[in-house]
Structure 1
Amino acid sequence: MAAQGLNRPIIDVVTRWNSTFQMLKSLLKFREFCAEHIEDKFNLNIAEWRDVDELVATLDPIYEATLKLQSSQLFLGDFYILWMQLKLKVQANNSDNNQLLFKCLEKREERLLNSPSVLACVYLDPRIRRLLIKNPIKMMCAKSHLRQLIRQILMLKKGFPSQENNGKGECDTSEDICLSPSIETSDVIWPETQSQSSTSLLGNLLNSIEVSPSDEESDDHAEDSDLQKAINEVECYAPKQLDLDVPIMEYWKKKQYTHPYLWSLAKVVHSTPATQVSVERSFSALKLVLSDLRCNLSPGILEKILFLKTNKM
């Protein structure tokens, strides 16, 4: 191998990302070496080498996307841009492996876009917001989630406790107020004993229904005015298309005076981490701090050192 200028072959590592792809890609460099030094019964035939070629070509876009995901902490909008670029690259190749991979990506994307948090990020990202125009239901879900979120933000600013949503997005279908057809009559709690629980369920249902401020009187006109202004910003938001390489938070920082409520929402929805890069780097920093020479650090001191190390400017 040294005489032919070949490096040592790469071996697959189960716990390392893309190691199988790197092993197959390096194997292609040894095709002539294998033909010269390996017996035919142990060597790959022409069809098997062709399969390796196709598999490497299929996995190459995924390898490039994975490197970008590992390079930095991405916003959800940046992650979705990377996802769409990966889909288009995979779809451009008409091989059977690529078509199967494309179907898997589409299936995964359906689950991804069922999250109200993701839809809200796409709605507040002018680079990719047009993707929601093709799906009015997703657009309505994003607006509904943002309206609920701005209510909680305004309540927290005014010092009122926010209403819990039980971890569910507003566009989720609530199953708590539906009776199952399999419930027996004997299991039903009759009005004398269920008045309190039914009132609570009915109250939650009525509070979840969106109404215009003009439809009901408000006890706090100032709070109602702020909420209406915030909702108007959400409903009337129609930005121009931005280039894909524009940093999303720099864009919103310039809009903080013209769109103050959307600026508050953007700081919340875009703070959701799309990858675990920061967590992995924290583990790497822990290994450097807690070394054999500093193994007697107390948990409190170690936590403070890691906090300073991972949050330094």
Structure 2
Amino acid sequence: MIEVRESQTAAFLKSKILETLAEYNVSVERLFSVTCDNGANMVAAVKQLKSEIELQFFEETVDEESIADVEPGRDISEELSTEFYERVNLVRCAVHTLQLAILDVVNKSHESVKNLTNIAKKCKNVKYKTNFDHHGASLPPVWSQTRWCGIFKMIESFKTQRNFFEQLASQFTELDISSHWDFINSYHDAFRPLYICTKKMQETHVSLSDFYMAWLMATSEIKKVKNNPFVASILTSLNKRLATLRESRAFKMALFLDPRFNYRGSTVFTAVEKEEIQGFIMDTWKRIHDLESPSSLNAANDTSSELGCIDEFDDYFTAMFGGSLDTDQYPNESNFLQQMQSIGLESRQNHSYNVWDHWLRRKSTHPELYAVAMVVLATPSNQVSVERAFSALSLVLSNLRTGLAEDTLANILLIKLNKDLFQQAVSSLYNWKDVENVNQQN
């Protein structure tokens, strides 16, 4: 988390992202996806990051000799730009998109919302406090533009305390909301599934396919609401917004690798789409393979040298029975393709099936697909973690701690936001038996 004072243009955001990656020694080529809100500046910044990767790839792979061999008039940079345009996958925040779908139907300009908001503000007046305290009632929350489902929470407060507010209105006519009860009931019934869906999205990590399942469950619940003036508009908005989310290459890969969506007889994808997604998966695997650290490659080479006797036996075995060992740099593409195609031949799993465990069990039998699945499943579907980080910042950077240095604040947040990982890291930093022996000697 960094403090910025300049105008947050796409170019500025891209430069800050690259600076942050450099600080943690992460090359831009290692970016698989960027999850951001639907703001035009963020979307444009991701597109500029894509261009950054395209430029680096171009510089690394095209030398003078290869350029000399290019046919006259052929724009190789444009071809490479097209081929590697999706090397960084733009993932629009699912929760933010869901809130936009809600506001497409009812927003702050709705007459009932404005009137109920004014009543909620009036309720804070001290002259009503005795009534709220006497009946054990809670103040209706005044919603904020930056709070998800704020309008729903305010309306739910009125609905669940209807008897109290009717009694209150009989004493204070300025708090009368009798003309809005039909709106309150209709809004609550129609939008409650979307509120529940939003709460599900606020878990520690929600993968792209888990988000899609939650979205579909919410849609299913909305369809059960009969004779409601908002249902038709909500469903139209949800379908429109979902179409934008499904354009993401990462989203398509996530559904393809999820046996709840890709199974024998599934119609989630057409045959043409499946072939396209299989190409995405193969490209991703090749990126993973190419980005393996030199240390891991050296370790593999060291292991091979230690097992020289096995290599000699392989030669002996080949002399006896023929054939040859597979030494290709990449997995046999035909075998890899068969494994990807076989995914769609498996049985369908129920909506609560654990996809993480599904691929963990296939780590040894489908190593290439497993590697891709771990990347795709790790792709966050929303920015809830960012909102959680802002909340943590407000607790750390209080009015009494405004003198914290920037580095100190960054380190505190790093530990606070990654406390589970930090506990694991600390346990492996020392040989605790040695530490205990030193303490005993002292």
1:135 aligns with 2:269: yes
Note the C-alpha offset of 1:273: 0.7
1:100 aligns with 2:206: no
* Alignment check: 8 A CA contact 1:286 1:306 kept: yes
Name 1:7's counterpart in structure 2: 138
Deviations 1:135-163 (A, max 9, x none): 3044333222112212222333497xxxx
Aligned positions of 1:44-55 closer than 5 A: 44-45=177-178, 48-55=180-187
Name 1:276's counterpart in structure 2: 383
1:246 aligns with 2:381: no
Q: Aligned partners of 1:224 and 1:35: how far apart in 2?
A: 74
Note the C-alpha offset of 1:252: 1.1
Name 1:117's counterpart in structure 2: 250
* Alignment check: 8 A CA contact 2:360 2:370 kept: yes
Give secondary structure in 1 for the equivalent of 2:328.
helix
Name 2:170's counterpart in structure 1: 36
Which structure has more relative contact order (CA 8 Å, sep 6+)? It is 1
Note the C-alpha offset of 1:284: 2.7
Name 1:177's counterpart in structure 2: none
Q: Aligned partners of 1:250 and 1:50: how far apart in 2?
A: 46
Residue from 338, 351, 369 that aligns with 1:232: 338
Q: Does 53-62 or 223-232 show the bigger shift? A: 223-232
Q: Aligned partners of 1:243 and 1:298: how far apart in 2?
A: 50
Change (3 A) 1:90 1:139: farther
Aligned positions of 1:152-231 closer than 5 A: 152-157=287-292, 222-223=328-329, 225-231=331-337
Note the C-alpha offset of 1:103: 0.9
Q: Does 7-16 or 113-122 show the bigger shift? A: 7-16
Note the C-alpha offset of 1:263: 0.4
Figure out how many residues of one structure are paired with residues of the other and give that number: 251
CA RMSD across the alignment: 2.8
Change (3 A) 1:264 1:71: closer
Note the C-alpha offset of 1:107: 1.0
Name 2:205's counterpart in structure 1: 73
Letter in 1 for 2:276: C
Note the C-alpha offset of 1:118: 0.1
Change (3 A) 1:157 1:71: closer
* Alignment check: 8 A CA contact 1:116 1:141 kept: no
Name 1:20's counterpart in structure 2: 151
Deviations 1:275-295 (A, max 9, x none): 212222222333334445554
Note the C-alpha offset of 1:35: 5.0
Q: Aligned partners of 1:91 and 1:108: how far apart in 2?
A: 17
Letter in 2 for 1:16: R
Note the C-alpha offset of 1:70: 1.9
**Unaligned segments of structure 2, at least 5 residues:** 1-130, 295-325, 421-442
Note the C-alpha offset of 1:58: 1.1
Letter in 1 for 2:254: C
* Alignment check: 8 A CA contact 1:133 1:139 kept: no
Residue from 302, 305, 309 that aligns with 2:409: 302
Change (3 A) 1:18 1:115: same
Letter in 1 for 2:406: P
Q: Does 108-117 or 136-145 show the bigger shift? A: 136-145
Deviations 1:171-219 (A, max 9, x none): xxxxxxxxxxxxxxxxxxxxxxxxxxxxxxxxxxxxxxxxxxxxxxxxx
**TM-score normalised by length of structure 2:** 0.51
More helix by share: 2
Letter in 1 for 2:149: N
Give secondary structure in 1 for the equivalent of 2:291.
helix
Q: Aligned partners of 2:391 and 2:136: how far apart in 1?
A: 34
* Alignment check: 8 A CA contact 2:168 2:175 kept: no
Q: Aligned partners of 2:279 and 2:236: how far apart in 1?
A: 29
Q: Quote the sequence identity (%).
A: 26
**TM-score normalised by length of structure 1:** 0.70
